[in-house]
Amino acid sequence: MTKFKLKLVSLLLVFGFAFGMATDVTANVFPETTTTAQASSKVSASQKKKIAAINASLSKKQKAAKNWIAYHESRYSYTARNGNCYGRYQLLKAYLHGDYSPANQEKTANSYVAGRYGNWTKAKRFWQSHHWY
């Protein structure tokens, strides 16, 4: 009976290893790609209009601080990824509620910063001392 158990365990280990290697290989051969319009790196004219309207109430100083954070978080990329964070401001994906569009990222980032720091210059100051916001 012990020989049978040993063979069974060996078989399961070999199968588990082979399956793990196969999934690792397929993940490298067939990487996950996003082909939605939201994931496009170019911002459409309508998105630009929405973004301008969203940021219209910000002062030059606030816009400068917001841009500074965008540069340091993602180098201005609306499609940047880092774990559970996404986009220009590296917001948690949960905050974006599945809408990764540039306009939604701008609106959500403004809401997040207003609620947590009060304004973008305070968020920048926090970022400079902690390297996150």
Average of pLDDT values for 60-77? 98
Residue 11 has what pLDDT? 57
Binning the chain into helix, strand and coil, the percentages to the nearest 5 are: 65, 5, 30
How much is the pTM?
A: 0.70
Residue 52 falls inside a structural domain: no
The total domain count for the chain is 1
Tokens of 30: 């067939």
Measured CA to CA, the distance from residue 133 to residue 129 in angstroms comes to: 10
Query: Residue 106 belongs to what domain range?
Result: 59-130
Residue 4 falls inside a structural domain: no
Residue 26 has what pLDDT? 45
